[in-house]
């Protein structure tokens, strides 16, 4: 199998992993609150990365995290708040809306690049952003109060994730990506655990199946999805890998229907498709 075929395979498998993760989030939220769900996901993800680092004897990854802990912690703080908002978005509007709207992270990341890093901004990119914004309005059209609130929550999550992306570009570009992902999981766990304890929102009584769903969600959505995309980027163009990633919300819609019996509405599919088209235009244009 050639590099191109392996890159496509890794990217598609990564999208499958990330696409099913919001479904596990929704299943866990049937038994615990948002804060406890995030604690469970991040503790499992952190343990997985620790096991991977130890198994493959990557002590250098631990040293890299410790040597850059202030920078990684700052990035993780944005990720922690973003994760909480993203989970509330799934709770309020379901995994399908959340999966489509979180694609706006790419839009905010590019806008940050233009504002803070003086990156070039073309008319085609402006057209992509415009299409994505129209998609947001179509997606939000429905029960106005609920949809507007959940849309703003998810856009806030996308803004925070984009901020974390920008910080990683500024502060921790010399840190190995896998080490950075592991360090991010560990610090996010510390932040959300501390918040859950101090706010009195940490729940300890829940069915054992909750742990199963949380483990599967963290392994698919945090660990495997990142590793697979990292492997894809090693042998495949970034723009094409990013384009393949836009299938994630459609996969979430399929998994939501198959597992949760959620039937996507017309405005979800049309609005989501417009957001994805806008993101694809941005992804392809940025590499030219």
At 107-131, the pLDDT tens digits run: 888 888 888 777 777 888 888 888 8
Percent of the chain whose pLDDT exceeds 70: 94
Residue 142 has pLDDT above 60, yes or no: no
264: pLDDT strictly greater than 60? yes
pLDDT in tens, 18-70: 999 999 999 999 999 999 999 999 999 999 999 999 988 888 888 988 988 99
Q: pLDDT at residue 146 above 80? A: no
pLDDT of residue 91: 94
- Token pair 């059209």 is found at 141
Of 144 and 169, the structure prediction assigns the larger pLDDT to 169
Give the tens place of pLDDT for each residue, 188-222.
999 999 999 999 999 999 999 999 999 999 999 98
Distances (CA, A) of 76 to 12, 84, 135, 216: 26, 12, 29, 22
Say yes or no to pLDDT of 82 above 80: yes
- pLDDT at residue 143, as a whole number: 54
- Alpha-carbon 74 to chain mean position: 17
> Cα–chain-centroid distance for residue 216?
15
Average pLDDT, the chain: 88
Instruction: Using alpha carbons, select from 283, 243, 250, 255 the residue that is nearest to residue 268.
Output: 250
Question: What distance in Å separates the CA atoms of residue 6 and residue 1, rounded to the nearest whole number?
Answer: 6
Question: What phi-psi label fits residue 100: left (phi over 0), alpha (psi between -120 and 50 degrees) or beta?
Answer: alpha
Is 145 or 161 the better-scoring residue by pLDDT? 161
Query: Contact, 247 vs 57, CB < 8 A?
Result: no
Residues spanned by the domain of 233: 3-286
The total number of structural domains that make up the chain? 1
Q: How does residue 161 score in pLDDT terms, banded at 50, 70 and 90? A: very high
Residues comprising the chain, all counted:
288
């Amino acid at each position: 199998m050639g590099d191109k075929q392996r890159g496509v395979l890794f990217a598609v498998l990564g999208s499958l992993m990330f696409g099913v993760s919001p479904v596990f989030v929704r299943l866990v939220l049937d038994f615990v609150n948002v804060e406890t769900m995030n604690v469970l996901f991040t503790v499992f993800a952190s343990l997985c990365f620790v096991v991977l680092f130890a198994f493959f004897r990557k002590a250098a990854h631990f040293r890299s995290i410790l040597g850059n802990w202030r920078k990684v912690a700052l990035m993780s703080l944005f990720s922690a708040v973003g994760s909480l908002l993203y989970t509330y978005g799934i709770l309020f509007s379901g995994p399908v809306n959340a999966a489509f709207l979180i694609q706006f992270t790419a839009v905010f990341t590019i806008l940050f690049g233009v504002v803070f890093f003086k990156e070039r901004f073309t008319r085609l990119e402006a057209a992509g952003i415009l299409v994505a914004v129209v998609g947001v309005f179509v997606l939000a059209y429905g029960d106005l109060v609920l949809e507007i609130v959940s849309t703003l929550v998810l856009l806030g999550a996308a803004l925070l994730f984009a901020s974390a992306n920008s910080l990683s570009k500024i502060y921790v570009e010399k840190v190995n990506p896998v080490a950075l992902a592991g360090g991010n999981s560990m610090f996010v766990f510390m932040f959300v655990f501390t918040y859950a304890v101090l706010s009195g929102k940490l729940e300890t009584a829940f069915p054992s199946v909750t742990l199963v769903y949380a483990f599967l969600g963290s392994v698919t959505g945090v660990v495997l999805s990142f590793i697979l995309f990292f492997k894809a980027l090693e042998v495949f163009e970034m723009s094409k890998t990013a384009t393949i990633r836009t299938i994630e919300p459609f996969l979430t819609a399929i998994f939501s229907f198959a597992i949760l019996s959620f039937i996507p509405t017309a405005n979800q599919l049309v609005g989501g498709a417009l957001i994805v088209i806008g993101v694809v235009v941005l992804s392809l244009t940025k590499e030219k």
